[in-house]
Amino acid sequence: MIWHFATGFHPGPIEFKSFILGITELGMGFFWLIHSLIWANL
């Protein structure tokens, strides 16, 4: 997110939506990683 300010580039709705989707997918991937690790330890 810092590079947006560094380059002076202001993302539009499409870029912002893809950014949010990327964060969401990353969060879901992290969630499933933790979930599988917990189940492996049970």
pLDDT tens, residue by residue, 10-33: 656 777 777 888 888 888 989 999
- Residue 4 pLDDT > 70: no
- Residue 9 pLDDT > 80: no
- pLDDT for position 7: 54
The CA angle 22-28-32, to the nearest 5 degrees, is 145
CA dihedral 15, 17, 21, 24 (to 10 degrees): 120
- Residue 1 pLDDT > 70: no
8 — pLDDT class (breaks 50, 70, 90)? low
Cα separation of 12 and 22, whole Å? Answer: 15
